[in-house]
Structure 1
C-alpha cells in the first residue's frame, strides 16, 4: 500500500481505524482506495458534529503519519527508485516523468527485468552507492510532489471519453475551467488534451497547472448530471447504484 503523506485526510484515518471502520460498516478486506471512498461518503452523511469529533481524533494521527512517512521518504530501498530518480537512466529507459511516482517505479521495475546481467550488475553497484548518499541527505527532494502527485494519480484512473471540468488557477485567487471529453494524456510532455463538445475544438492543459478535476459531470456547465452512481449502504452492504461492492 503506497500512501502519499502529503495527501492524508480524515477519510484515511477512518479507513485505517478498526473502530471507525466497524462504525461505518467498512469491511477489512476491501481494497484500501475503496475503504477511503466509502469513509469519505460516510463522513459526508454523518453530519457536522460527528465529522468534527472524528476530525479531532484524526488530527494527531495525521500529523504522526506525515512525520513517520515523511522521515522514510529519503530512504530509497529499491533499484527501481534509483532509475526513476536518475535522469540518465530515466531517459535511457524512456520512463515518462509526468506519471505518478509509484507508477514510474513500477515501469522501472519492469524494465530492470529485461536488461542483461552485466549491465544490471554495473547499475546495481552505482545504485547502492547512490542510495547511501541519498539516505544520509535529509534535505533530499522527496519522490512525491504533494497536490500534483494526487492529480496525476487521478488522471491515471480516468478513461478516455469521460467528460471533465478542469480547474486551473488564474491570477492570485481566481480559476478558469477547461471543459470537455478526455482525448488523451501525454505523460512525456505533461499535458491533457480535452475535446470541447460545445465549441467542437481541442484544448491542451498542462498537468502541473491543474488545481482540481471534476469527473462528476456528463455535459457542459456546472449543472450537468452526475456520471457515476452514488455509493449507498443497504443493511451492512455497500452498493454503487444497484451493484454490490
Structure 2
C-alpha cells in the first residue's frame, strides 16, 4: 500500500538517508501537484500557481520531516495536513473566503487534450470548468474526500489515513457526494428543458392566433 511505502521512506529520509528522500519526493510530487491543481485550479493566478504551490508544500514537508514520527500517524496524513494548510493560506492571500473552492479539475483531461484538436480542447475546457463548479456544491468534507479519491487517486484506506477517519466513513461520504452531484445534474437538466419565461409562442400557437375568425368583412 502507498501509505506503508511512504512511511518507510519518510522514516529513512528523516534519519538522513538522501536516497530515501529522493524517492520520497518522487512519489509525493505528482500526488501533491494533483491535489493543489484540483483545489486551487489549473489556471495561473496573479500571485501564485498550482505548480508554485506544489513546490511550497514539498519544501515545507522537507523542513518538517525531522518532526514526523510513526507514532503521530501515517506520513500521508502529515503531508495532506501541510498541503491543505498551504492551499487555505493561498486563498486567504487572494482575499478569498472560499478556501475549499475548486475552479478546475485539469488532471482528469490533460492526457486527452494533448492529442485533441482545438474544438475538442474547447469542449474539454468546458467540461473541466463544469466539474469544478459541480464540486462547489459539496460540503467541505465530501469535496475533500472526492478530490482525494477521484483526482489524486488515493484508495479508500489511504484517504481514511489522510483525513483521519475510517474507510467506512470515506465510503459513506463519497456515496453521499456522488448522490448530491447527481441531484444537481438532474436539476440542471430539468432547468434546460423548461421554456424560458417570456419565450415566443410555438409556431402552432402563432398560426392559431392569426387565423381569421369569420367576422363580417
Shorter-normalised TM range: under 0.3
TM-score by length of 2: 0.22
Structure in which a larger fraction of residues adopt helix: 2
Structure in which a larger fraction of residues adopt strand: 1
Higher radius of gyration, 1 or 2 = 2
Query: Whose relative contact order is higher, 1 or 2, with alpha carbons under 8 Å and at least 6 apart?
Result: 2
